[in-house]
Structure 1
Amino acid sequence: MGDTWNRSLVWLCVDQMRSAFAATAGTFVLSWMLYEWTGSKAAMGGLWLLSLSGQWLVQWLAGPLIDRWRRVTVMRISETIRGAAYIWVWVMWTAGQKEAWIIMAGSFIGSLQVYDAAAGAIVPKLAKADKLVRVNAAVSGLGQLARIAALPAAGFLTGVVSTETLLPLLAFLFLASWVSTVRIGEEAHSAEERHSWKNSFVQGIRVYRSNTVLYSLAFLVSVTSFGVFATQAMYLPYVTEMLRGGPLEYGWFSAAFPLGYVCGTVLVGRLREPGAYMFAVMSAALFAGGMTYILLGMTTNIAAAICIETAAGAAMPFWNVYSSTLYYRTVPSSLLGQVLSMKSLLQRAATPVGVMYGAYCASAFGLPALFLSVGLLICAVSGAAALFHWRSASQKRRASAAQE
């Protein structure tokens, strides 16, 4: 532990857990407020679409500037914006302005953040190169652990007190970033690391052009993101209508994925890297995730759905941890924030279409059809990628053995 971790890395984990808890609970609360107020699947889709649009916009405009400033400063600004959004919704709601557009506007403003890209860019600066997989697995797993705590807690509190009373608490959690980030020892940027918006953006593109593997990663995850956001926007009506659950059941269902994710990160951190078969393993993880959507579309039992979602979470670290590690090892530190931001842009390119598809398909054909169609799409793309990468790695291994 002492050889892998240092004080700054520990405080970074603490801050990311705080942010993950607040963001997850906040999304739950705003989603429940909107669905309770409107009862509309289309409104739920609109909420997710606005949130994704805000994320896409800020990644495009602010992403190239992440590496120009200290990453902890970017993290604080992002969390302050999110906290202010929740305060605004609370003030308007308690003043009697109870309108769906207020919740949607608050969700949009709260999505204007680059916290994740900035925090991710610090990791390789604080961790040793040979410990990146283990550290990245731990950081990712701890973030999911915070989500496990956030979702049942938010579900329980939503069932006990009025949802708007939780908004000031969520704002306080976001603003607490100013306390924890002070203890992260990030070195000041040198003059050479400061680039204009245009230069930073161009250099980020050059990194992708010189590393075609990053393109393939972005394509696979964009297809998966299409399906993920098409279904996630419908999780609340899925639980309440198909599984006949309430806010507590929705909280447990939502917590199942991060619970499985934590178990998966423990396994990834202990296993040896798959080497030449890494891309095949990563693609197989996405295929397993696609299968879980098919199974979710075929069940109406809450316990079975929770088990399926837990299995989906256990598979995802084999994609996320290895993917992040590849970025950390491939991209220069001075450009990592920008490249991670561009990664988010590429990943979210198909998500607005996914949200619109989810809202339309659920309303026109029903929730089972939505989950089945998404699962089949992900399985088809990721399954083909897994077979291709497995065959390619096997051929390279045989060729290497023949030369020896």
Structure 2
Amino acid sequence: MTSPSSAPPAAPEAGGGLGRAGDLFQLLRDGRPWTRAELAMTTGLARSTVAGKVDLLLNSGLVVSVGEALSSGGRPPSRFAFHPQARTVLAVDVGASHVRVALTDLNGEVLAERCAQRTVAEGPEAVLGYVVDSARKLLADSKRPQSLLAGVGIGLPGPVEHATGRPVKPPIMPGWDGFDVVGFVQRSLPVPVLVDNDVNIMALGERAAFWPGVDDLLFIKVATGIGSGIISSGQLQRGADGTAGDLGHVRVARGAEVLCRCGNVGCLEALASGAAVARSLAAQGLEASTGADVVGLASHGNLAAIQALRQAGRDIGEVLATCVNLLNPSVIVIGGSVAAAGEHVMAGVREVVYHRSPPLATTNLRIVLSRAGERAAVMGASQLVSQHVLSPAGVEAALAAASAG
């Protein structure tokens, strides 16, 4: 599996790095219309060279004619632009207790989707079987041929070895350890399949949709577990083995005697995840077994739930203060099911982060709730694929396939 870039490729330098149509295409990914003359002027290439590359892109469908530009005399020059509807992407969000499958275009616009309450503990064959069946149904209902499917992006709620797409000892995914997710899906859908940790792709989705100009962003998912997606200098940071951002198992002071499912004590997840907050409320006699129950209690004004959520925010803030000191992000986005509690969690996070981090690191820091919400993961899964297939090498492969066909 070829590793995709985590951000759109930079435009090629004028006069260099433009030996292929795939390189020239990177200039067109901004979506605005161009003429051949404008491309030739920007790149320094001969107009005949540009014309040949543009014709290849037009024939592939990735670029489409969008009318004519104003003429200073003679025949008006044609204008053309990136055509995101040329291909479709299957974007998959596998959560602890749900599976969301969406069909999108190359810009991440959702065309159709299906969602089911299924637990990841059902095992890979059952869950991925549902994904494949949903893909076929979505393609059939949308009347879009499978031949135009560019790829499949999948987010999983556990550690993923990025080079192979295989889960690695995921704590809440029995039967998934080392499973060949890519191979299983490709037996039914023979296209590129890219797999990553769910919070990584949520970071990609949130940034692409709402913070495209932000190069340093942390996405924090607070749900059954707690994790973060780290975007630094515009690139998703996965670390040496794909485990970067696992905040849930950082120790916090308040949890000295609290046992975590990982076998250690004092982990953030054991104190501030949705399940952990529910357990603390159940011990007080309240009916709560999930994070959704906690959010529901808080929304109805239950003071114990509100206080527990604010304390969870403080615990998360304790860990995030260290992250702010280390990574200096300009935006921290809080998402996941527990984020539905909104300002109760946010108040606790802000209280500690702004208190414990130096003024220089927080002067321009924004701590906000996710705007993508429950669609953050499918938006990111779509980005994972589009960034891969629209890279210079990906476009060249598409052009070669079109020529062979």
- Structure 1 or 2: more strand by fraction: 2
- Structure 1 or 2: more helix by fraction: 1
Is the TM-score greater than 0.5?
no
Class of the TM-score when normalised by the shorter of the 2 chains = under 0.3
- TM (normalized to structure 2)? 0.25
Give 1 or 2 for the bigger CA radius of gyration.
2
